[in-house]
A and B are shown apart, each in its own frame.
Chain A
Amino acid sequence: MKNIKIISILLTFIFITYYGIVPYANSELFPYKGPVDFDFASNDKREHIIKLKDIKNELENIKKEENFANKEIKIKNAKKEINNFKKTVIFWGNVNTIKDLEGNKAKGLKQIKLNCMACHSIKKLNIKSELDRKTANETYGIVPPDLSNAGYLYSKKFLIGFILNPTFTGKTSHKFGIEKVHPMPNFNFLKQQDISDITALFKAISPKSLSGKEIYIDACLRCHSIKYADMRNNTMQAYSTEKNIIKYMDSIPPDLSQSIKSKSKWYLSSLINNPQKEIPGTSMPRVGLDRNAQNKVIKYLEEVGDSKKLERESTGILVLLYFLIFSAFAWLWKEKIERDEIEF
């Protein structure tokens, strides 16, 4: 009985300490930043509404504000924010109209040859880009993606949004402006029907299924190396060299070999879905993967970063079973010894 009392006191303190330094401390160090939302339009609107609520509170307090200059700045910010909100609503409204149009893939191919081939290739249709990878890398800092799988990786809405305005849809407007231009211009000069045709082609040529590795190569490898995926031949190096990408990004994207261990699954999925939410101001664009593609790519990160997971779990059960049986026999032996040596 005494032992049970001691054990329960011990366990209480161990549990309190564990709760404090793991779950509680983590929730304080890495606070929850809202849900992962694959409907990017609703996600953007929600973000704006949260901001507008803050602004509304601020405007209510502004009457008390004595400092005239501060007052001016606050009103200016509020107006800008309201304007941004309006722009977002109009933008995604426009996307929705295009989405509902009937697309023609043959016409889409024509449009692609006219507008995209200067930079992008479509290996599936044997269309080569006019710019080879090395030159593109040196010119733009990054390598423009091949578009064969675009229809699989991205939702129709995201594709349309990205064609219309890459920086807005990718959430990198803070990085590009007058001084620095995004490598891909806004194709908002195209007719709505043309854009619909282009996306129709992407959807038509999209593969039925892609592996996690293929998705990684398409969506991540242009910037992020993952060297543990192939240590021997070193084929999983980022397409853009460090020297070039730093011009585009202002920083070097990290190798993702161990990202499944250095970040939680939850964090990775939130970060890929919306990088600005987890790292405000980061150069990483919103990649726009849909739920299925994103889950697959995270699974691939786990396969590379934690390749012994299955072995660990199956061995674990056996080892625990062994010590369970060991303890049972040890207890029986202890009881016998106590009977013989102390009580008899």
Chain B
Amino acid sequence: MAKNQNSNPPKSWLDQRLDLTGLSEKLMTKYWLPKKINFLWTMGAILLIILILLIISGLFLTMYYKPDTAQAFDSVNYTIMQEVSYGWLFRHIHAVGASVLFLIMYIHLFTGIYYASYKNGREIIWLSGMFLFGIFSIAGFSGYILPWGQMSYWAATVITNLFSGVPFAGEDLVIWIRGNFNVSDPTLTRFFMIHICLAPMIIIFLVWLHLYSLRIAHANNETGEKINFKEEAHKYLNKDKWNSKVVPFWPVCFAKDIFSIGVFLFLFFALVFFGYEFALDPVNFEQAKPLVTPNHIYPEWYFLWSYEILRSFFFDIFGIKAANIGLICFCISNIVFFMIPWLDRNPKILPAHKRPLFKYWFWLLIIDFTILTIFGKLPLTKINLWIGFIASVFFIILFISLPFISKYENKKGIL
């Protein structure tokens, strides 16, 4: 075996074979990040922590969960929640973790939109992030079915039934997805497979892609300034830390991340122990009854905005059925976030507060998003229907107007 005689001190056995020093430089000590970033840049680290918590708690839950319509409910609510030592803790971490993951993902996503961190080379970061959002949605939805409560069953019925809107093959597609004519045992087992095998595999790949593409395009910063990372890193290494615009991930950003994670975990566990009700819907503590429809069917809170778009079209327009318009707008509203890098026609990277029109666009989007989320759960009274309808149409209009707004900004050169 070749021994590396030249290095001083001599490299360790593992280091010779795995180049750990080189790896830690790449990942930690010489991974450069802009100096001008705020705490919103630690959301990625928090998301990674949540993912790890979800995987660990999920592994423990899988040890006792039974993917069978006759046993699923009791295996969750009795075996895991009451019999197994600290089984309740793992379930609470898993349920609250899923909910909080979406909250932080929304913050992460809107931070990206606010600081325009999706263009000029960062498109793959954006796309991989959006695909992560999509696959997490699938994981969240398939996981929601597993306890086999009333809401599990009816959410599965309503959502799988959406596919019947697909032209030509709709009805067959629904049966193919359910594995039966209605939601039943085969549906549960396949959703179990998706939740614990397919979705996690894709998620881990996409997380890798997300982080890898970030290394190439580098993180954006508060001002949107284009930084020459090589030059700035050189300054930093030559002890001109004050003037350098970058800092190494280890220890500077790592320390910030750890502090953020500490505060986050404090809040997170406060929810896990004392405020978990928002993540565990009461209706789902009733076992699934295919013959009894709950009075109100609603998804988990993080799907409410798109659910509201889906259901808010309550009258036919130009002979197209209301339900189909809803379905089309639902699809558009979910796809349109993927397209933001191409809808924003302003080539400059600037935070929203420095863009004369985009700043209004951004805050209107946030307000509309909040309204849609809230009205997605409220009962469909006449006023609520109209508010939901207007908010949904406005949502679509916002995205249609984005290319024009951003192009106008650029043309006028008001910046």
Contacts and interface: CB of A to CB of B under 8 A. Distances in A.
Interface in A58-74: none
A21 interface: yes
Contacts, number: 135
Contacts of A320: 266, 269-270, 273
A323 B283 CA distance: 32
Interface in A290-344: 307-308, 311-313, 315-316, 319-320, 323-324, 326-327, 330-331, 333-334, 337-338, 341-344
A313 B265 contact: no
A330 B266 CA distance: 12
Interface in A24-70: 24-25, 28-29
B366 interface: yes
A334 B301 CA distance: 35
A35 to B, nearest CB: 22
Nearest to A260: B285
A323 B266 contact: yes
Contact of A338 (B77, B252, B378): B252
A160 to B, nearest CB: 36
A24 B375 CA distance: 10
Contacts of B35: 342
Interface in B162-202: none
B258 A334 contact: yes
Given A262-B285, A262-B286, A342-B247, A308 B82 contact: yes
Interface string B235-252: 000000110000110011
Interface string B40-84: 100000000000000000000000000000000010011001100
B151 to A, nearest CB: 10
Chain A contact residues: over half helix, strand or loop, or mixed? helix
A60 B289 CA distance: 45
Interface string A227-269: 0100100000000000000000000001101110111100000
Contacts of A327: 259, 262-263, 266
Interface in B255-313: 255-256, 258-259, 261-263, 265-266, 269-270, 272-274, 277-278, 280, 282-287, 295-296, 301, 304
Interface stretch (A12-20, A107-115, A186-194): A12-20
A3 interface: yes
A10 interface: yes
B373 interface: yes
B107 interface: yes
A316 B259 contact: no
A22 interface: yes
Contacts of B78: 228, 231, 257
B393 interface: no
A316 B269 contact: yes
Nearest to A25: B377
Contact of B39 (A3, A18, A261, A262): A3
Nearest to B77: A258
Contacts of B304: 21
A6 B39 contact: yes
Size category of the binding interface on chain A: 35 or more
A76 interface: no
Nearest to A343: B242
Given A261-B282, A262-B283, A319 B273 contact: yes
A228 B78 CA distance: 7
B273 A330 contact: no
Given A231-B78, A342-B241, A331 B259 contact: yes
B147 to A, nearest CB: 11
Nearest to A18: B278
A323 B374 contact: no
Contacts of B256: 334
Nearest to A31: B379
B255 A334 contact: yes
B6 interface: no
A308 B285 contact: no
B266 A342 contact: no
B370 A16 contact: yes
Interface in B345-383: 366, 370, 373-374, 376-379
Contact of A312 (B88, B259, B283, B370): B88
B88 A308 contact: yes
Contacts of A263: 282
A324 B266 contact: yes
A224 to B, nearest CB: 13
B38 A334 contact: no
Contacts of A2: 38
Contacts of B273: 312-313, 315-316, 319-320
B300 to A, nearest CB: 10
A20 B255 CA distance: 36
B217 interface: no
A254 to B, nearest CB: 7
Closest 8 CB pairs of A and B: A316-B273, A20-B374, A327-B262, A262-B285, A323-B266, A261-B285, A330-B259, A334-B255
19 contacts: A13-B366, A16-B370, A16-B374, A17-B374, A24-B374, A254-B286, A255-B287, A258-B286, A261-B285, A311-B88, A316-B272, A319-B273, A327-B262, A334-B256, A334-B259, A337-B255, A338-B252, A343-B242, A344-B242
Given A261-B285, A341-B251, 17 more contacts: A6-B38, A7-B39, A20-B370, A24-B374, A228-B77, A228-B78, A231-B78, A262-B283, A308-B81, A312-B273, A313-B274, A315-B273, A319-B269, A326-B266, A327-B266, A334-B258, A342-B35
